[in-house]
Chains A and B, each alone.
Chain A
């Protein structure tokens, strides 16, 4: 029977199928961080259980970590306690731990691929919805709850009904200043935040084939924002090139064996999907969000759509726009902004900083803008320095911070104040996401850069 890429990977990980129930799914790689793992370890201990395969779990501190002065003690006692708890649990059970200050530290979804933890054909979970990022490598990767973290720790399995299958194809060539982030935001705006709920997505077509691995990670990262459990892209020469030789990828004969398997990881020609969408690359322009969920996005040169054009009901729409301080049919270009954030597991990779630099080079940060430039990992930070981007940023009046989740979810000190507007390369514009009362405009690194130098929502095509 013909199979999709998703079927091939899922089916090969089913330990047992329960009739009228979930599959028992084997997990190859488990990533944990300090926020969603502590209660799982408490659960283990209260049941008298242990960690079955500690070598398959990787602990990384990222959500709470400060992005300045990481060499000093963490000031917030609750954050410090969570970071310490992660370290203690990792040490107790023999789990690898990349804490604050470790050379491999960074956002868990950035460091996984960088270090070869992420592999094609693997199942990867983490107590974090943006685990979908790793699907860029042809892995089945998705976010889980803390009860499931406990399951994986003690049995290396979780129990999940197999999701339905969706294929999203984008064909053609992307226009100038249209980045993978814009492709993701465009798809979410078309499907809405619940349009892919219950599905696992495969991205196909010219645009994804031609995209870099960094770009594919950005797109797969955003899969959860349309409700999908995850999204994946078939591995190809670019994928293998990216992972080859990384610290934790297979070596020698093991690499050859793995390659033989990875070469089979593509959707059969006559495989059937439960739902298919096809879009044209040419219809996508640089995107920006105007509301309080990632589906409320639009081409940057458009006006804010009216309530009847948006899924979700008038009351919900009005609540959202009132929170943002915007009105329907207004233009977004020219709106004043206060903060710019470049970073996160969505856009915290080297390519994102290169894009940001391409616009700010030779220009100056606007005086009214506070900018946070936060690399996704120390490895990204080093590359920024090596490639001379740091000099460009500093000449333009920007400061580079240290890696972490930062202002994406405001669990550390990087919080946008109430009422202020932030153009953010992160993934969620929910009410209060970047700090109580904060207002978030999601966009690409290019749109963020244009806003950073003008202090206004600005079309990046003006600068390119």
Chain B
């Protein structure tokens, strides 16, 4: 399904400086039993967020009311493990439109791009500066400009560029997705199929 256009985003951010956050943590397997894409945000980081009796864990960042916003800043190698797109859906459904990390796992990054969540990869040094700034002041804002491919920490003015290929960038700016593109090359695909040996 096509998604909302993404141009610029200015928001406070939620800090999660844990490395190797895998998609089983983002959404545990037992919450993958739906047959429609609804309500996954409720179970985002379920087992880090809630005790076994469904009471919130007070020390988890999503349960701390001072941290909020549309940007999640994660540790290195964010989104590793299972290919479940449900992880990206849960991030989106919870209200995040952008995930920032010094390194992303491949499939998670791809899934985010396919549903309109922008993954922004920055240097480890800048990631540390962002974490420190948010811990010093939870109202610290980040500005993401997709057209310019920049991310700025507004309190200090520190800015970095990020990489996104031109095709995906166009998709996100316009709210298109890959199926929109592929539908337009059906006859080319059908011709290609005839050449396949098996």
Report A's interface with B, CB cutoff 8 A. Answer: 15-16, 18-22, 24, 26, 28, 35-36, 38-39, 42-43, 46-47, 49, 52-53, 63-64, 76, 78-79, 81-82, 85, 119, 122, 127-129, 143-148, 150-151, 154-161, 163, 193-194, 197-198, 224-225, 227, 229, 250, 254, 257-258, 261, 293, 295, 312-313, 315-316, 319, 409-411, 418, 428, 430-433, 436-437
A315 adjacent to B17 (CB under 8 Å): yes
Residue of A nearest to B22 (CB): A430
A411 adjacent to B30 (CB under 8 Å): yes
A145 adjacent to B196 (CB under 8 Å): no
B179 adjacent to A20 (CB under 8 Å): no
Query: B182 contacts the other chain (Cβ, under 8 Å)?
Result: yes
On chain B, the residues within 8 Å of A433 by CB distance are: 24, 29
Which of A26, A36, A79, A254 meets B84, CB within 8 Å? A36
User: Would you list which residues of chain B between 171 and 198 have a CB under 8 Å from chain A?
Assistant: 177-179, 181-183, 185-186, 188-189, 192-193, 196-198
On chain B, the residues within 8 Å of A39 by CB distance are: 34-37, 85
Query: B28 contacts the other chain (Cβ, under 8 Å)?
Result: yes
B52 adjacent to A293 (CB under 8 Å): no
A26 adjacent to B19 (CB under 8 Å): no
Query: B12 contacts the other chain (Cβ, under 8 Å)?
Result: no
A432 adjacent to B24 (CB under 8 Å): yes
Query: B97 contacts the other chain (Cβ, under 8 Å)?
Result: no
A227 adjacent to B105 (CB under 8 Å): yes
B196 adjacent to A42 (CB under 8 Å): no
What separation, in Å, do the CA atoms of A26 and B197 have in the docked complex? 13
Nearest-CB distance from A34 to chain B (Å)? 9
**B53-71 near A? 1/0 per residue, CB < 8 Å:** 0000000000000000000
On chain A, the residues within 8 Å of B80 by CB distance are: 193-194, 227, 293
On chain A, the residues within 8 Å of B30 by CB distance are: 410-411, 436
B19 adjacent to A227 (CB under 8 Å): no
Nearest-CB distance from A423 to chain B (Å)? 19
| Given A46-B1, A81-B35, residue A432 in contact with residue B47 (CB < 8 A) | yes
B114 adjacent to A147 (CB under 8 Å): yes
Chain A, interface SS category: loop
Beyond the given pairs A145-B88, A409-B82, 5 more chain A to chain B contacts, judged by CB atoms under 8 angstroms and listed by A's residue number, are A76-B33, A146-B85, A148-B110, A225-B81, A411-B33
Query: B96 contacts the other chain (Cβ, under 8 Å)?
Result: no
Q: Can you list the 10 inter-chain pairs with the closest CB atoms, starting with the nearest? A: A21-B167, A145-B85, A143-B83, A38-B35, A78-B33, A145-B111, A147-B114, A20-B166, A194-B77, A129-B83
Query: B44 contacts the other chain (Cβ, under 8 Å)?
Result: no
What separation, in Å, do the CA atoms of A122 and B166 have in the docked complex? 29
Residue of B nearest to A127 (CB): B83
Which of A28, A64, A151, A430 meets B33, CB within 8 Å? A64
Nearest-CB distance from A264 to chain B (Å)? 12
On chain A, the residues within 8 Å of B179 by CB distance are: 43, 47, 49, 147, 150-151, 154-155
What separation, in Å, do the CA atoms of A82 and B196 have in the docked complex? 33
A21 adjacent to B178 (CB under 8 Å): no
B83 adjacent to A144 (CB under 8 Å): yes
Contact sample, A vs B, 24 pairs, CB 8 Å cutoff: A15-B185, A26-B189, A35-B33, A36-B85, A38-B36, A39-B36, A47-B1, A127-B85, A143-B107, A145-B84, A150-B179, A157-B189, A194-B77, A197-B77, A198-B106, A229-B107, A312-B20, A410-B30, A428-B22, A430-B81, A431-B25, A431-B47, A433-B24, A436-B47
Nearest-CB distance from A53 to chain B (Å)? 7
What separation, in Å, do the CA atoms of A224 and B88 have in the docked complex? 18
What separation, in Å, do the CA atoms of A145 and B177 have in the docked complex? 14
Residue of A nearest to B192 (CB): A15
A28 adjacent to B196 (CB under 8 Å): yes
B178 adjacent to A158 (CB under 8 Å): yes
**B101-112 near A? 1/0 per residue, CB < 8 Å:** 001111100110
On chain B, the residues within 8 Å of A430 by CB distance are: 22, 24-25, 81
A82 adjacent to B35 (CB under 8 Å): yes
Residue in A43, A157, A254 whose Cβ sees the most chain B Cβ within 10 Å: A157
A147 adjacent to B115 (CB under 8 Å): yes
On chain B, the residues within 8 Å of A436 by CB distance are: 28, 30, 47, 52
Query: B75 contacts the other chain (Cβ, under 8 Å)?
Result: yes
**B153-178 near A? 1/0 per residue, CB < 8 Å:** 00000000000011110000000011
Residue of B nearest to A147 (CB): B114
A410 adjacent to B29 (CB under 8 Å): yes
On chain B, the residues within 8 Å of A63 by CB distance are: 29, 32
Residue of B nearest to A64 (CB): B33
What separation, in Å, do the CA atoms of A436 and B192 have in the docked complex? 47
On chain B, the residues within 8 Å of A157 by CB distance are: 182, 189
Nearest-CB distance from B140 to chain A (Å)? 21
What separation, in Å, do the CA atoms of A128 and B86 have in the docked complex? 12
User: Would you list which residues of chain B between 8 and 32 have a CB under 8 Å from chain A?
Assistant: 17-20, 22, 24-25, 28-30, 32
What separation, in Å, do the CA atoms of A229 and B110 have in the docked complex? 11
